[in-house]
Amino acid sequence: MLQFPIQSYKENVIYTHEMEAWSYYRLHENTVGVNEQEAENHLVNRLQRLAWQFAAFEEIDYKIIPIPVDIDKRMDRLQQQYEGNYAEIGRYYAERAKEILREEAKHVVDYKFFVGVKLKRRELDENIIHTFSSSFKSMNRYLQKLAGFSGHEVDDLTVSLFKESEEDAFTILNNYLGAYRVKEKELRYIIRHQFVRGQEQPNGDGSMYSLTEGILDPGKAGYVQIKQLDDESWCAFLPVSEFPIDLTYKEWAYFFQSYDFPVEVNMRTIYKKKKDDENQTNTIKKRFRDQDAQLIEANEDDDSLINTGRELLHDLENQIKNQGKPLLRTHFHFVVYGGTREEVRKRARRLKIDFKDQQIEIVQPLADQLLLFHQSIPAAKIIAEDWEQILTPESFAESLFSLTRKIGNTVGFYLGKNISHAGESVTSSQSLVFYHPFLAHLGLKGSKYSSPHVTISGPTGMGKSYLLKDILLNSVFFGAKVLMTDPKDEVEKKFKEALTPEMEYTAPFFKELIESFNYITLSSEKKDAGKLDPLTFLEGEEAQDAAVGVLEYLSELQSNERNVKTAIYKGVRHIMQQDQKPGLLKVVRYLQSSDDQDVKNVGDLLYEIGTNGVAKLMFSEGNVEGISLSEQVNILQIQNLNLPDEGEKAATRDEHIAVALMQPLAKFATKFARDDSVVKLTIFEEAWMLMNTGAGDRLINELLRTGRSLRSAVYIITQSTYEYNKPQIKENIGTKFAFKAKTTEEAANIIEFLGMEDNKANRDMLKNLTEGQCIVEDMYGRTAKIQTDVLFDEWISAFNTKENDRGRAETEEAFI
């Protein structure tokens, strides 16, 4: 007859009927970047040292529990943060996201890592007796327990006997992996989870009796059926029956996290005295001698595997004797569960096959299922003793226990899926990625960056704009005010092309959203002349510096033309001081009136530039009407702008003017970002052009430094990270998205920018990213390969930047 092991619990400590105590802790989740072997080795090293230190205790209980991701709860929390004009629309889309993700991600879990430590009891001494002698009630309860009388309350004397050991356990665990003492609610959750696997998850409330309710039926060989009043599920317990000699890179407590079904892990390690460990090695040596005798008798050659094992055993024997290395007597089993026995059978088969590939043998015993169920309960004794495996600290550490795939934010809008594991896709991955654009600047615990700024980099056609627009639309639901610069003049066009007449009925909220944006289109027409004249919307030294910068750049002055540079400075200062409504055209006339022929020639050139074509936007008489940013979302776009290729200097006059226009455009955005009365997003499309000018470089740096205090997030959209791969810049960027690298050199630059390990695997991965795939470094410094994924058809249509192919793609693919 199996007895439920838990007699009582208090805080994070469980007390058994045998007066033993187990303390439980939840570990900090550890992450390593994509293909980051050095970071993985660092975790392995910490796990090794932890396994050595835990030898001071008798027994350790390692658990990995898959906690179902509560989509409804996350989306409800998100909706509570929505405010402003678009809050209602945001709530509508959050509800739609709930419905879609409930179906698409029904098996999504977060893996949580727990460690239980069997505590050492202090013996009763005179000091303890004296301390509690005034409390006859406490002493009496303790004596009753020793005599075998049960009770569910934990007295102070019992707590005190294990307090010192509990503090030692917490200190060791926290030093090597980082841990929290579990709360009683978490402890109840772990207990209740055992009796509802594959059913509705517990909330961590209830009495001890209610936690253990359920009928366990081991009637079907190899399975346990769990029955509740209104639900039932099936479980299979799969112990490890054989480990290979070398467990390096097996990742046997990690790699299954990419599965589309939950896997639970229970691993108990038992430590014995040094003498027992020496005896264990002697027993194994005897087995080798017996095998040698059999080989000689059969006249067969030595087995290479046996020879390797013999060498390893010799080293181990020396380490036990000379260094006190402990042996870990490990009882390790997986649990898979589901709604039907057939579902569990398939999951168990998948697990067995995949572990077989790792040379790890796991089995599904027919008769031990109930024993293994009992052994999974916190603080239970080892009763299925047939499955013991002897591990060293090194082999235990190769499990990568505590490693998780977590990336992004816990509460945020759905961004896509983590596809870091080989062969994963957006359809197969169950690792959801959520993103919140207004968390980084709060300086949350564990975060590496406290900056709200973001870079999105990559070549044309790989998904930069698609991702940006997804973030843009989701951000407005938080009440953020937005200014987006669009030098390509495509956002309004693509958004409004997606608005079909049917949307009046099928997607009215989307139609309302898109039509409410303030699209500010600047053209070469006379009505727009001067709207980006820096002397009209800036003041003081800032206006002077911007005006001088534009005029010098357009003049293409050489270093020896100091007289002209001086004249430009004097002209700008003169107009600003003498004229109530200054404008760049007035500065140009000042230059044209100079007695210096060189200055006059430059004035004539600037007049021709400033009164023709799109350059008119920067030149005015000072009497222009300013650009209104009264709406929540403002998209500033310029027509007929001929941009140079990324990374190239402006080669033609039109390209030169386009780059010049970016300077006042950026200054205008900077002025918008400085308003600290509301949370803001300032988005720079084609930002690389700004960095090609000294003034633009200074502007970006200023915004990145001051944005957090101004409640302004700057989004830099660029084709290359080269200009931003400088310590003073990238340290001020909180989240980085990098799409495909075209060359090995570019891949190396992205790797450095994201702080990844520079190796061939990462360079190849970056060069082979496909459309919609990118590497992200989040605010916690974690990196992963993700696939962006938009849930709503009307959004997908609006985000598509590709031209209508008139059936060309379909025709081509028909013959593939």
State the CATH class of domain 412-523+633-639+672-816.
alpha beta
- pLDDT of amino acid 200: 83
Q: What is the pLDDT of residues 473-528, one digit of tens each?
A: 999 999 999 999 888 778 888 898 889 888 888 999 999 999 999 998 888 888 88
With a CB cutoff of 8 Å and minimum separation 6, the contacts of 148 are none
- pLDDT of amino acid 211: 86
Q: Do the Cβ atoms of 264 and 334 come closer than 8 Å?
A: yes
With a CB cutoff of 8 Å and minimum separation 6, the contacts of 816 are none
Q: What is the pLDDT of residues 763-806, one digit of tens each?
A: 999 999 999 999 999 999 999 999 999 999 999 999 986 655 44
Instruction: Tell me the mean pLDDT per 10 residues along the chain, length 816.
Output: 86 92 95 89 95 94 94 93 94 95 87 96 65 50 48 76 95 95 93 92 72 90 93 96 89 90 96 73 64 58 57 63 79 96 97 94 95 95 90 93 93 94 88 92 82 91 93 94 86 89 90 92 86 89 89 84 90 91 93 92 92 90 84 86 72 84 82 80 80 68 74 87 82 92 92 92 94 94 94 92 52 48
**Using CA atoms, how far apart are residues 216 and 232, in angstroms rounded to an integer?**
10
- pLDDT of amino acid 114: 98
């949370």: which residue's tokens? 679
- pLDDT of amino acid 124: 64
| CA torsion, ordered 403, 409, 412, 417, to nearest 10 deg | -50
Query: What residue spans define the domains of the chain?
Result: 6-69+105-181+237-271+327-397, 287-325, 412-523+633-639+672-816
pTM equals 0.85
Closest CA to 266 of 62, 545, 493, 496: 62
- pLDDT of amino acid 136: 47
DSSP annotation of 69 reads: P
- pLDDT of amino acid 447: 85
**Using CA atoms, how far apart are residues 708 and 703, in angstroms rounded to an integer?**
9
Backbone angles phi and psi of 633, in degrees to 5: -120, 120
**Using CA atoms, how far apart are residues 107 and 732, in angstroms rounded to an integer?**
37
| C-alpha to C-alpha distances, 13 to 378, 402, 812, nearest whole angstrom | 10, 21, 66
Q: How many residues does the chain have?
A: 816
- pLDDT of amino acid 686: 75
DSSP assignment of 387-407 equals GEEEE-HHHHHTT-TTB----
Structure tokens at 598: 């060189």
């796990």: which residue's tokens? 47
Q: Do the Cβ atoms of 532 and 523 come closer than 8 Å?
A: no
- pLDDT of amino acid 647: 63
Q: Do the Cβ atoms of 263 and 335 come closer than 8 Å?
A: yes
- pLDDT of amino acid 687: 74
- Here the contacts of 32-35 (C-beta below 8 Å, separation 24 or greater) are 32/403, 33/754, 33/755, 33/756, 33/757, 33/782, 33/783, 33/784, 34/420, 34/756, 34/762, 34/765, 34/775, 34/783, 34/784, 34/785, 35/756, 35/757, 35/759, 35/761, 35/762, 35/765
CB neighbourhood size of 574 (10 A): 14
Closest CA to 61 of 28, 26, 30: 26
Closest CA to 549 of 420, 754, 699: 699
The secondary element (H helix, E strand) that includes residue 307 is helix 304-323
SS (H, E, C) 230-250: CCEEEEEEEEEEECCCCCCCC
